[in-house]
């Protein structure tokens, strides 16, 4: 990630006058694919709030500025979780969407049930806490953040289906589930189905995405790809030196840092030759495979940079070359 800036600097740098127009045409923000049978469309790219918080007052102000800018730019998929900032992320997102008026109804709002709250007696209180912080009576999409081998997923799903029947959940999804875990979760649902599986997936970290994608394509389950830019490596940052690493699932970057930085430098050279932003290789590689990227941004400027990359689609030949480089077959 880029160095953090004070909220006041972020605000001063935002353009005066009319807000920037939403990204359109190839690499647009509108449209998407149907979200199960909800009647909603799942946007092609979204903003995740994990990277937005260290949760000091100045960080919260910066987060609000970034979210407000995302709304102005036309972003309509927002992803948070009860564990992000111990609920602060949900509260901030709810406040920003409330102040944005009708945007909340146009948006796909996603939050997650913690792996610590999967027992049936915990599910309802966890959801009600999230809804209270978000200022909502229901959430569009509710994900199981990660499976817990100590809890039968069938019990969790039964509790979630009850809440879905009550209208408190628009759709049910999961995160970090294998194919076997997906099958177990789906078999426990009687009147609805899993519509999303959110996994770690990018050019450099493929294992989880490649495992579930064929099954999800066949079953019409949307694959959301978190960390699509590999903590900034695939956007041209950290090409040398150290790389910040967050959740335990991402430590593979640190374990093979020299290798992935060499690959990232080769991809950066490819992007320069193709005259496209480096991040566009990573984002459109995912879209080409049918995965929807969930990006992070720590400032309005970083968000603008990512949306500019999304608006620039490399040729099929360039994407094929990026894939070959990332697989280690640079030639």
Query: Any idea which residues carry the catalytic annotation?
Result: 84
Chain-centre distance of CA 114, in angstroms? 16
- What are the C-alpha distances in Å from 218 to residues 170, 178, 212? 22, 15, 10
Phi, psi of 55 (to 5 degrees): 70, 20
Cα–Cα distance measured from residue 93 to residue 118, given in angstroms and rounded to the nearest whole number: 23
Query: How long is the chain?
Result: 331
């Amino acid at each position: 990630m880029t160095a953090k800036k004070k909220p006041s600097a972020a605000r001063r740098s935002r353009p005066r006058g009319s807000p920037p127009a939403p990204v359109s045409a190839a690499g647009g923000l509108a449209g998407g694919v149907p979200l199960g049978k909800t009647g909603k469309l799942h946007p092609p790219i979204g903003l995740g709030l994990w990277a937005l918080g260290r949760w000091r007052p100045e960080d919260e102000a910066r987060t609000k500025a970034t979210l407000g800018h995302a709304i102005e730019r036309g972003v309509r998929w927002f992803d948070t979780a009860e564990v992000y900032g111990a609920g602060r992320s949900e509260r901030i997102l709810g406040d920003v969407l409330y102040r944005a008026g009708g945007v909340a109804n146009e948006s796909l709002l996603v939050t997650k049930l913690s792996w610590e709250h999967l027992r049936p007696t915990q599910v309802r209180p966890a959801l009600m806490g999230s809804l209270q912080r978000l200022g909502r009576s229901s959430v569009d999409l509710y994900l199981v953040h990660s499976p817990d081998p100590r809890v039968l997923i069938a019990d969790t799903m039964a509790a979630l289906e009850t809440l879905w029947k009550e209208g408190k959940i628009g759709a049910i999804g999961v995160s970090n589930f294998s194919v076997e875990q997906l099958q177990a979760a789906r078999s426990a649902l009687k009147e609805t189905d899993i519509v999303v599986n959110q996994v770690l997936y990018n050019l450099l970290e493929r294992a989880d995405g490649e495992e579930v994608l064929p099954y999800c394509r066949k079953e019409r389950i949307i694959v959301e790809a978190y960390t699509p830019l590999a903590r900034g490596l695939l956007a041209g940052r950290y090409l040398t030196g150290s790389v910040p690493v967050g959740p335990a699932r991402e430590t593979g970057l640190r374990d093979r840092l020299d290798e992935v930085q060499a690959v990232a430098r080769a991809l950066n050279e490819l992007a320069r030759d193709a005259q496209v932003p480096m991040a566009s290789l990573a984002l459109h590689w995912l879209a080409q495979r049918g995965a929807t990227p969930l990006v992070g941004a720590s400032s309005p400027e970083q968000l603008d940079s990512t949306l500019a990359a999304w608006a620039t689609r490399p040729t099929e030949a360039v994407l094929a070359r990026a894939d070959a480089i990332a697989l280690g077959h640079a030639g």
